[in-house]
Structures are given as structure tokens and as C-alpha cells.
Structure 1
Amino acid sequence: MKLTCWGAAKQVTGSMHLLDIDNYRILIDCGLDYEGGKDLSHNANFPFNPAEIDLIILTHAHIDHSGNIPTLIKEGYKGQILCTPPTAELSQLLLSDAVNLFFNKKKGNPKGRRKLRNRSQADLYTAPLYLQKHVMDTADRMVTVAYHKQFQIRDNISLEFIPTGHLLGAAACKLTVSDNGVQKTITFTGDIGRQNSPVLVDPEILSQTEYLVCESTYGGKHHSTDSTIEETLIKHITETCLEQPGRLIIPAFSVGRTQALVYSLNKIFSKKLLPPIPVFVDSPLANRATEVYRKYKNYVNEEAEAFYETYGDKFEFENLSYVKELKESKEIADHFEPCIIISSAGMLEGGRIQDHLFHNIQNIYAKILFIGYCSEGTLGHRLLRGDAFIRLKGKDLAVFAKIDKTDLFSGHADHQDILDYIAAIPKKPKRIFLVHGEQSSMLALKNDLENKDYQVSLPEKGMVFEL
């Protein structure tokens, strides 16, 4: 049995791990690699023949894990894609949205493609990685497997999905393999969620596994613990919308983060901890994703289930409006009463959030509250570092709105959470492979694990391990 890490090796994005078992090739995740910045063209080139892959296992729907599957299919992959039911539906939404983003980027060349003369110009008008037809082909290949169901892939290979929180339907995948008569186990964590997250279940303790391929996104980092999500939201709403006639604008990723935020606001208003304030959710993708969360309510945590029994729909309350049409979105600019606006994208790189930012960044009564990570180079990152001016829609705008952030909605386990997750495995794995993290995060986690006598490797891209 051989393991090759072809993605998320000493970086966060592009998860893609190849397992070779007796000439049977399994790809665990196939995500988009964003390390090249906005030019994604390098994702079209695979380091193996896609037609020679026998099976894909998808841990969860996020684009850095699922986003390059349609390219793989476009280039000749013919097999199935195994995932949980919510992952199948959420990934279809995200992949369709990715196609829209590909085509939106092409609008950067108003004079037409024929005018492009060289490579640097052509980068402004890159052909899309894949089309909607390839997303539909991806959906057709998906075979859903419930949590804890032993799925027999071949006579000598079985699969079990184990809940990890992080996103609805997210799972670690444990493979039990008979390799030349010897039974071996290897588990890929995908992304590990946090304990006591809104809506989502806690990451489940893993059973014994010999090898562990583990994410390390928040290695060396520790989440805030000095207040709860509800306390933090009440503080920001009170300061912005009650003590003054302001607007609280919250950029949020459409799938996962928005649902957690809406549920948290529902708890606050349903329990009458604050007077009702209009809440607008302005993201068509978030609206569709929320329907998937409603459909798979048996995948949420016990608290969210109990809330449903007492108060009804977790994602619906009296002062909440889901904005559908672009016309409705633009009308929010004329809403002069205090309100809360939730919109995507979370890093401010496109989407309807840019319209709300344009109309409010110079409003001294507005606050932009970030609840997710903003990578370097994004508009969100520039605001968080304190830039006094930003350029938006062709204009230089002074930043008068207040800028703040909280990490309480983070979907990733922090340093201690990962250590606890690994320590709960009944017997130490023979080896742990750290992936999906910046090198500094991996090193911090590696040092702590080695101090506890774990064998730890940091794979380079393309490095092969005999297991």
C-alpha cells in the first residue's frame, strides 16, 4: 500500500491524496489549489492519468477538497465518487457556483478575446477549468454512504465515514485494507471541526487506525474562549444597532458559516435577549445551502434538534428576510433603520457583499464584522490590517466604518483540539501525516506530537510513502 500526497502538502488548499492498493488507485479528495492566486489554470494539469484512477472518496463539500473533481472527469476519470448525502448536495451547489465564478472572471476583458496578444494579457481571460456539464457529470457519479456504514469497495478494501463536524456531512474516511494478507488501516480526517459548534455535531472519536492523514490548519493557534458566540453577537449588535442607528454588516461564506450565524441569531431573538432588528441574508447560494441544511436536519447536533422542537425552524425567525432577487438586494441600500446584513463572499472578493460595502464603508455608524479567515491579498485582509482607504468599483473610498472580527465561528479545530482528537485514538498510530496547513502550523503541531512520542511526517508534494 502506497500513499502519495499530491495536494495540501505544506499548504492549505488543493487537498488530494492518492492511495495505491494492489493496482487499485483511490483518490481521497480532489480540491482546487489556490496557491497560484487568482490564476487557477495549473489545476488543469494532474500529476497522474485521471483515467487510471479507480475511485474518489470525498470527505466534504468545500471547494479546496471537491473543486477539481469536474476537471478530473473532464480529463477522463470514469469511476464513482463516494461521500455522505449532505456532501453530495452541498458540493453540487458549490461546484455550480465555481463555474459562475470562472465566467465572471472572464468579464475582465471588455474588448473581447481576439484582442489578447500575449500570455500576460491572456491571464485576464483564462478559459474556465470546467463547465456546468462537467458538474452535472460529477453529480451523476456520486454514490452516497451514511455515517458508520461499512461500505465494501472491493473484497480487500472497506470504507467507513466518521463525523468530524466542520460542515454538514463532513467526515473522516477510514479504510480497512487487506494488503498481501496483512490487514492495515488508514484514516483521512478531511477537516476537523470544533467542539460545541452551532448546528454541527462534535468531531467523533476515531477507532484504532495504524496511519492517520490529519489536517493542521490551526496548528500553533488557539481559538478565543473568553465569551460565547451569543454574548459576542449581542455585544456587536448592541453597540452598532441599539446604542446608535447603525448597520452591522457580516461577510460570511454561503455554505456553513451563514447557517451557523443565522441559527445563533435565531437563538438570540427567539429567546428575546434583544429587541427585534431586521436581519437580511443576501446570498442566493446561502439560500440554497440553507435548504440542504433543512433537508438533513438529522445530521445536526442535539442542541439544534432540541431548538427545533421548541422554537421551530432553526433558520427562520420573524425579523429575518432571505433576499432573492438582485433588485431586493439593491433596495437594502435605502433601508435607513438599524439592521444586520449577512452576505457573501466572506473575504469580500466578489459577491453581493461588495455592494453593501460600497454603500457603507464611509458610514461612521456601520461596522464590518468578520467571522471567518481572510487570506493575504484579499480585500477583507486589507481592511483587517487597518488600511485607511480601499478601492472598490473603480473608486478610492476612505474607511470610516468600524472593522472588527471574531474567531468563534471558525470551522476548524485549533491546536489543542487536534492534539485532543489524536490523543483520543485508543492506541498511537504508527505514523501521522500532517497536511492542509501552512508550514509553521505543521511544525508547531509536529513538535508537540513528537514530544508525546508520536511518529510524524510532513509530506512534500509527490512524496511516496510505503505503508
Structure 2
Amino acid sequence: MTHLACYAYGVGHADEGVCLRLEIDNYRILLDCGLKNLASLIDNPITTAASASPLTGIAPSTVMSVAAPQIDCVICSHAHTDHAYGLLALHQTFPHIPIYASHITAHLLPLNWPEQTVQNTLCQALPWRSPIEIFDRLTIEFIPAGHLPGAAAILLSYREPHSERVMRVFYSGDFYLSNTRLATGLRLEEIRGLMPDVLILEGSYGTQRHPHRRQQENRLMERIAQALHDQQSILLPVPTIGLGQELLFLLRSHYLFSGRNLDIWVQGLIAMGCDAYLDLISQLPIAVQNFAQTQPLFWDEKVQPRVQRGQPPHQTEPCIVLTDAHTDLSHFCHHGQWLVLFPEATTSTVEWKSHAPTATDPSEAIVTAETYWLSEHSDGNTTLQLIHSLRPQHVLFVHGASDTLADFAHLDELSSRYKIHMPQPGTLVELPVAESAIVDTNLPETRYAGEVAETTTEILISLPIDFTLDPRWKSFADTGVVEAYWQDQQLIIRGMAPTELTSNNAGASQLSRNCLSCQFYRNQRCNNQDSPLFQLQVTPDGYCLEFAATDIAN
């Protein structure tokens, strides 16, 4: 059996970046490198009396050279610091190790190291949705993951040398099923039924439920509009890429601010991030491209609201300022009233609050601070939808606080169907794969003609007895119970596994508690206004806490 395992250098707890080593047979693939210190990646450093290179992160005592890590390649899911910060040091120390990323990510990566010159050779850009063989029998495919322009979910497929079976690992990176202003969400229809052997999944928000993204945006815009009405200026500390550009475009395009006589100022690295986005307009959503054809996407001193670089001058009229997350915010609030808005969903909020400005002279400035919620990751229910759509054997949860990830691991609907893991830094998780679950691409695509008969009480589907000669029939008919549901215009019929049916009654109960059997499920969408899935396209086997059984299910 092919060796399959995952070693964790960092899993995104607190300030720790994400860095995982995936082991498939004899290959070692590094998934992201958000480490601030590369010492854990280096095996048996060779020491001499010389000074150490600061890139390795090893104590500056006596390191002269280091042994190369046992890594065949690095795959970067997206350009956020907690996934990419260690890439430059790794490349400068071991330039022979190839680094792969999407075209957009390759363009945004240098923003993580603004004080250094980053060569174009840092990483190799790969296209979307095109399986590429990077090593013998090992292919990689990038799938747009939402969350951030260029963010990729990664599908790795390995064909075993003797059996010709294919093993698949799906790494979500940071993903978001909903569309944001500048990134299209991950499309479930592209990956539904993929059935990877291993799913490595972020669980940033745990099992929390969130309002729809547009509702979050409207609440934030309404709060900012109210503050401006109250003669307060707004200060928004944000990361270099992602949230800052989202907020700036939202302020430019939202109906509460479009055409409003207002000055918006953009500081420091946020402005550099905006410039990088301008180079990528042709790869942003169509709505953004259309907007950019009529007026500038960011910088505009004529069309209201006006957007400019730099720090606002002393003025009496309220304004909005976007600045770097870790800047000393007291530099901005000298006169008048200020409202500082921190993103509640960001793990660095506590650190940012320590930089919040305080008025030394109350007669000069009045400063208040609040938090807002603008999610950048999928919530608990949509994360469950992704898992059930993929149907993996193993699920590894990373990127989130230990207690929020544990909430996922303890859900019965996951632990009863999948093998759940929560890797910790410095640990190796073995991932044995059941033979029956490995997809054999050599199986024939045989089609059978059948008949459908409708009676007053039931529908009968008859197929020829030759159907049972197919090797897949045994697993399909193992329990004698099937589930049927509509997918677009096609009727899907699947066999229920023994683990899904502890007994006839339990099986019936389980089957009833899904979107398919919910009275609000119509045309593949949720119509329950109290559900976080309201108006979203959902899979038939999805579930949320607002489930309401139909009369038939009851």
C-alpha cells in the first residue's frame, strides 16, 4: 500500500503560520510556508565558527551551512502572510526547491517582504483547472478557492506504479464559498463527488454561523455612514492585501457612498496592495472589470468619493483612512472625533487594539473603538457542505484555534462518516487508505438501458441483471438501501453505506435530517430566512440548525 501521511510544522493556531508536509509514496510536498522561523524545516544543521544567515531562523551562533530539507516542492495556496511568509527565506536558502502558485498569487507574494527585492524566479505560476504532472505519476491542479484573488484549493493526484490506482489529496487552503467584491467564491459544482482519500481543510470559524456576506457588508456600511453623519472620521486598520482592498472597493461602489462628497485616504502598504490589484484587473470578477471601464478602481481625485494616497491633512470635515494593521494609530487622530473599526474576525485584533490611539488632550480629539464582522472564510455550515460534497475518507482540520477545530471533530455527522484528525505541530499523522475507496480510473464506463414504471404508490426502476457483474455493484448494493435526489436536471441514485445505517429506524432518521428532506429546500436552494444558507445553492445532503422536516420525512 502506498505510504500517505501528513507532518505539521505549523497549523495556524494563534500567531502560528500554516506549513504542512504531505508525504505520498516517496514524494515530500510542502503545503504553504507561513513560518516566521525555518529552523523546524532544516535537518541536522552543519555548524562552524561563522555567523548564521538570518534567513534560516537558527540562533546566530555558529551556523555556516545547513542541510537541505527533505522537500521535493512547495505549493503556496495564496499570498497571505500566515501561508507565505517563509517562502522567500526558503527560496533564498534552498533555491533548487521549486515553488508553485497561481499567477495572481505569484504577483501578490512580494508584498509580504516590502523591504526586499524579490526576483521573478521565486515561484512558478500554474494555470487554473489544468492538471499538470510535476513529478512522475504526480499531478497538481489549482481550483479557485475564493477568500482572496489568486487563492487556490489544491488537488494532488498520484497514480500508484503497479496497480495504476489513483490516490487523491485535496487541500482547501483558505476558502470561501460566498462571492466577495474582488474574488469569486469556491464553486461546489466543480468538485462535488470528487471523493478524495484525504481532505486537508481549514476550520477558521469552527461551527459558527454567519449572516450572508451582503448583510455583513450592509451593516458595516450603515455603521460608517452613521458615524460620518455624527461628524466622526473613520480609521480602518487592515492587512496589506485582502480586506483593505475589499473595503476600499466597497466604499467606492456601495449605494450609501457612491457619489458622496467624501475623502478616503490610503496609507503605506495598503496602497502598494491596491497598485498590485490594478495590475490584475483582467483576472478579477467581471463586475469589477466593468466598474474599472467607467472609473478608476481605487485612485480617483475627481469622482466622489475621492480616494487618495497619504495621510489626511488637518481638516474639519470627516474622512475615512485605511492604514496598515500594525501602524501606531495615534499618528492619525489629532483633532475632532474618530471611530476606529477593527475587524473582529481577524486573529490579530487583540494586538491591533494595543495600538489604538488615545487622546492625550480631550479637547483636541475624541477617539472610540469598535469591532465589525466581515467574514473572509466559510462558516460552519458551508464548511460542512464542502466536506459532504467531496466525501473524503480522512479529514484533517487546520488553521483555527484548537477549541474551534475540536467543535468540528466532535460533530456526530462527521465522526460517523469520516476519519477526523487534528494534527499538532511536530506530529506525523499516518493516513491509511481503504482499498475499496481508491478510485480506479481503468474501470469501464459501461451504460445500461433500463425502464421506469410509475404506479399509484411508488416508482419502479428496472435494470438488466448484467448490471450486477460490474465490480462496483457490491459496494452500491451492500445495504440494499439507496438515496435519490435531483442534481440540476439529472436524477442521482447512490447506495447507502453500512456506517450510515446503524439500524432501519436510525437510517430513516438520518436520511430525514438533510436539506433534501427540509420543507424549505426548493430548486436546490434554501428558502428559510432564518438559515445561514438562505438563498444559497445547497447540496441535498447538507444540514443546518434551522432544519424543518417535511410531512413525508416526519
Q: Which ranges in structure 2 are unaligned for 5 or more consecutive residues?
A: 38-53, 60-65, 433-554
Q: CA deviation at 1:431?
A: 0.6
Matched residue SS, 1:19: strand
Q: 1:217 — aligned with what?
A: 204
The CA distance in 2 between the partners of 1:17 and 1:333, in whole Å, is 46
Matched residue SS, 2:143: strand
**1:277-426 correspondence runs (5 A):** 277-283=262-268, 285-309=269-293, 311-317=294-300, 318=303, 319-323=305-309, 328-329=310-311, 332-345=312-325, 349-350=326-327, 353-357=329-333, 359=334, 363=336, 365-371=337-343, 373-375=345-347, 378-382=350-354, 400-408=366-374, 410-425=375-390
* TM-score, structure 1 normalization: 0.76
Deviations 1:276-299 (A, max 9, x none): 21111122x222222322222243
The CA distance in 2 between the partners of 1:187 and 1:265, in whole Å, is 36
**Selected match of 1:176 from 143, 150, 157:** 157
The CA distance in 2 between the partners of 1:374 and 1:306, in whole Å, is 30
- Answer yes or no: is the 8 Å Cα contact 2:111–2:240 preserved in 1: no
Please identify which structure carries the higher helix content: 1
Task: Tell me the matched-pair count.
Answer: 394
* TM-score, structure 2 normalization: 0.64
- Answer yes or no: is the 8 Å Cα contact 1:191–1:412 preserved in 2: yes
- 2:172 aligned with 1:189: yes
Q: 2:539 — aligned with what?
A: none
Q: CA deviation at 1:253?
A: 1.5
The CA distance in 1 between the partners of 2:345 and 2:217, in whole Å, is 20
Deviations 1:122-171 (A, max 9, x none): xxxxxxxxxx36x43xx413110111011111220000001111111000
- 2:69 aligned with 1:82: no
The CA distance in 2 between the partners of 1:237 and 1:397, in whole Å, is 25
- Answer yes or no: is the 8 Å Cα contact 2:139–2:156 preserved in 1: yes
The CA distance in 2 between the partners of 1:232 and 1:456, in whole Å, is 36
Question: What is the identity, as a one-letter code, of the residue corresponding to 1:71?
Answer: A
Question: Pairwise CA RMSD of aligned residues?
Answer: 3.1
The CA distance in 2 between the partners of 1:248 and 1:256, in whole Å, is 19
Residues 74/272 of structure 1: CA separation in 2 closer, same or farther (3 Å cut): closer
The CA distance in 2 between the partners of 1:6 and 1:415, in whole Å, is 23
Q: CA deviation at 1:248?
A: 1.3
- Answer yes or no: is the 8 Å Cα contact 1:10–1:442 preserved in 2: no
Residues 73/227 of structure 1: CA separation in 2 closer, same or farther (3 Å cut): closer
- Answer yes or no: is the 8 Å Cα contact 1:375–1:381 preserved in 2: no
Q: 1:386 — aligned with what?
A: none
Question: What is the identity, as a one-letter code, of the residue corresponding to 1:370?
Answer: F
Q: CA deviation at 1:436?
A: 1.1
Q: CA deviation at 1:439?
A: 0.7
Question: What is the identity, as a one-letter code, of the residue corresponding to 2:400?
Answer: G
Q: CA deviation at 1:225?
A: 4.3
The CA distance in 2 between the partners of 1:215 and 1:397, in whole Å, is 45
- Answer yes or no: is the 8 Å Cα contact 1:229–1:264 preserved in 2: no
Percent of aligned pairs sharing the same letter: 22
Residues 416/299 of structure 1: CA separation in 2 closer, same or farther (3 Å cut): farther
**Selected match of 2:253 from 267, 276, 279:** 267
Q: Which ranges in structure 1 are unaligned for 5 or more consecutive residues?
A: 35-40, 101-131, 384-389
The CA distance in 2 between the partners of 1:33 and 1:397, in whole Å, is 39
The CA distance in 1 between the partners of 2:207 and 2:27, in whole Å, is 37
- Answer yes or no: is the 8 Å Cα contact 1:15–1:436 preserved in 2: yes
- Answer yes or no: is the 8 Å Cα contact 2:12–2:82 preserved in 1: no
- 2:391 aligned with 1:432: no
Larger gyration radius, structure 1 or structure 2 = 2
**Selected match of 2:140 from 136, 146, 159:** 159
Q: 2:423 — aligned with what?
A: 459
The CA distance in 1 between the partners of 2:58 and 2:20, in whole Å, is 15
- Answer yes or no: is the 8 Å Cα contact 1:32–1:43 preserved in 2: no
Q: 1:8 — aligned with what?
A: 10
Deviations 1:84-103 (A, max 9, x none): 11101111121x23xx4xxx
Residues 411/3 of structure 1: CA separation in 2 closer, same or farther (3 Å cut): same
Matched residue SS, 1:214: strand
Residues 313/146 of structure 1: CA separation in 2 closer, same or farther (3 Å cut): farther
- Answer yes or no: is the 8 Å Cα contact 2:207–2:407 preserved in 1: yes
The CA distance in 2 between the partners of 1:226 and 1:197, in whole Å, is 7
Question: What is the identity, as a one-letter code, of the residue corresponding to 2:429?
Answer: V
Q: CA deviation at 1:234?
A: 3.7
Deviations 1:67-122 (A, max 9, x none): 1122223443512111011101111121x23xx4xxxxxxxxxxxxxxxxxxxxxx
